Structure 1
């Protein structure tokens, strides 16, 4: 599949085109998107060698290969579009994430754990059913210039890079740069881990248990763009779950945007979270405020530089933190690149944020209050 232009591109433009392939949007700017009826195979293979400090109780240093993400997560997928006439099309996506170092499946071992949906698209919009992204993902993509890079501000809230929901129905509509979308899940994720928002799936006895809903509005003018979204997950996972009861909710609201200035793209955002599951003897609802700012700069057509800073403050127990991250990438061709990236997380007294966004926690988690540094060299190929 050729969804990349004939020469390397920089900044947020490159990242958005890459994510079109990753997220399998029906409206992606690929040759297949304009065909009357087409099925397209696409994918990413991205891996390297990583070094992380202060891992675990012994504060060990680790050299390993990440499994979850690198500069982009490794994946393959199939998407299709059939022209049904009168402006109506049938669309589908099946997308699988994997770890190149092991050849194993990510997303809890599911064959199509990233996305699996089918639907209809027309002048009135697109309606799809299946496993899909929450709307907050598309909103954050607007202003986050670095994630899902292994080191990024999103390490302070890993949910933002993988907010997928099972048993979901999604509606979206785009016109003249304006996009609105809404997603409702009858029972999100019975497979993913708690940090990824896992729950017990559909419940026949509790209408609220494990439900999820989100809504988004964004505007992209080409040289600048803004987006806003709200995402709410209901509890019901039972004992040991971050949200044991269905009456508990975890809600995020975000606003972000970007602006292009010559060869640079600057992005920033702010997110407010109210988590009813984070309860202690003195704190009922843990609220947090998270903000980030980052930039891409094309030094040359074949060299891209990225940097980002993020900060999260939490209402309880000094459990906030900060992340600084950077990346330099050399584009060998329109599909193949090599890169070096590094990052550092500053943990407050009771915080355990890990700089290592490439493995599922707690594999690289530091002790409370301990900061952590990571560095990686890698290679990426898009097909």
Structure 2
């Protein structure tokens, strides 16, 4: 009897120790907004009042876990799925964990290696330190960061990602397998970033290179600066894109036209400012400008255009996890870029919303 009690006690102690070294967290964001948008219908150019996902963040839920393996090594996983709070549907039909689904190992000295469905490092730059809107969520306030950092895919299936920090420097490398038997480059993706942060100053640059199912290529280069000055943070960034896949045209104007002879070229800049008025109130302004050539594979002056967007956002924190916000965005297009906005050469959106993090 005594031996049974001793064994049971040892098992309970071991279970407690294992539990103390491991953790699983359920987390998420519930974000919904009421939005009015001019020229919302591509066919008629009419305005629309609608309930949408959040202005900056998409509603999501997920699990993340870590197990301490000892000697500075740990195992980790992350499963995350997007949802539409207005009707309860998945943001991608048929995929429960459509945003991220990966596992890996992390070492205090050797860095972190993960495999599965995950973001490329350039996308991490935009949702993290360098875009004043943290990439936004409406197409009107996120088009630049999305179309150039994603380069065909927000998260890549079958990918391998490595990150590490060396003093003030942080590096990331990424490879997404195409898994095509005839040509490994089809659907393949590469990305890498390097950033440096010292006190209030941070700078980072990187690239993403993707191939579509036909083997056509898009290449994007990026450089960013960020500086914090008291309650204000200043942002400046640049994208240079050369697209043979037709993805940029498809995303911006629905006109996918892959071209080997006249790839679409974009020279894009953005800047912005965030200002903490008080602990409960944060203001954000952002300006995005893009000069494009060979829009819809049309060469010469007929294929050149410009687009810019001005975005204003006010966040009022009701608590550490709940935020009430209001935003307005204005987009303007010229020349060949007019195809980006249906029914006109400008578009205005106004929205109010509520966000809760758990």
Correspondence 1:53-64 to 2 at 5 A = 53-55=38-40, 56-64=42-50
Output one character per residue of 1:217-267: Cα deviation in whole Å (capped at 9) or x when no partner: 11222412111111000122xxxxxxxx21x20010101021001100111
Secondary structure, aligned partner of 1:65: strand
Greater Cα radius of gyration, structure 1 or 2: 2
TM-score (norm: length of structure 2): 0.82
Deviation at 1:70, TM superposition (A): 2.4
Output one character per residue of 1:298-320: Cα deviation in whole Å (capped at 9) or x when no partner: 11111111000010001221333
Label 1:282 to 1:329 Cα distance change in 2 as closer, same or farther (>3 A): same
- Determine if contact 1:156/1:322 at 8 Å carries over to the other structure: no
Q: Which residue of 1 aligns with 2:133?
A: 146
- Determine if contact 1:52/1:372 at 8 Å carries over to the other structure: yes
- Determine if contact 2:244/2:259 at 8 Å carries over to the other structure: no
Cα distance in 2 for partners of 1:280, 1:173 equals: 36
Larger helix percent: 2
Q: Which residue of 1 aligns with 2:60?
A: 75
Label 1:352 to 1:203 Cα distance change in 2 as closer, same or farther (>3 A): farther
The structure 2 residue matched to 1:257, chosen from 218, 225, 228, is 225
1:268 maps to 2:219: no
Q: Which residue of 1 aligns with 2:33?
A: 48
- Determine if contact 1:142/1:226 at 8 Å carries over to the other structure: no
The structure 2 residue matched to 1:211, chosen from 188, 194, 203, is 188
Cα distance in 2 for partners of 1:281, 1:267 equals: 34
Cα distance in 2 for partners of 1:281, 1:91 equals: 41
The structure 1 residue matched to 2:264, chosen from 286, 295, 299, is 286
Output one character per residue of 1:281-300: Cα deviation in whole Å (capped at 9) or x when no partner: 99622211111000100111
Label 1:218 to 1:314 Cα distance change in 2 as closer, same or farther (>3 A): same
1:224 maps to 2:201: yes
1:304 maps to 2:282: yes
Query: Aligned residues, how many?
Result: 314
Secondary structure, aligned partner of 2:129: helix
Deviation at 1:46, TM superposition (A): 0.7
- Determine if contact 1:156/1:323 at 8 Å carries over to the other structure: no
Cα distance in 2 for partners of 1:134, 1:311 equals: 23
Deviation at 1:39, TM superposition (A): 0.7
Which 5+ residue runs of structure 2 have no aligned equivalent?
1-19, 247-256, 295-302
- Determine if contact 1:81/1:89 at 8 Å carries over to the other structure: yes
Label 1:143 to 1:353 Cα distance change in 2 as closer, same or farther (>3 A): farther
1:120 maps to 2:105: yes
1:318 maps to 2:304: yes
Label 1:225 to 1:109 Cα distance change in 2 as closer, same or farther (>3 A): farther
Choose between structure 1 and 2 for higher RCO, CA contacts under 8 A separated by at least 6 residues: 1
Label 1:325 to 1:283 Cα distance change in 2 as closer, same or farther (>3 A): farther
Secondary structure, aligned partner of 1:158: helix
Secondary structure, aligned partner of 2:52: coil
- Determine if contact 1:167/1:186 at 8 Å carries over to the other structure: yes
- Determine if contact 2:135/2:146 at 8 Å carries over to the other structure: no
Cα distance in 2 for partners of 1:156, 1:129 equals: 27
Deviation at 1:351, TM superposition (A): 2.2
Cα distance in 2 for partners of 1:180, 1:280 equals: 32
Q: Which residue of 2 aligns with 1:358?
A: none
Output one character per residue of 1:174-195: Cα deviation in whole Å (capped at 9) or x when no partner: 13231111110112xxxxxxxx
TM-score (norm: length of structure 1): 0.77
Q: Which residue of 1 aligns with 2:154?
A: 163
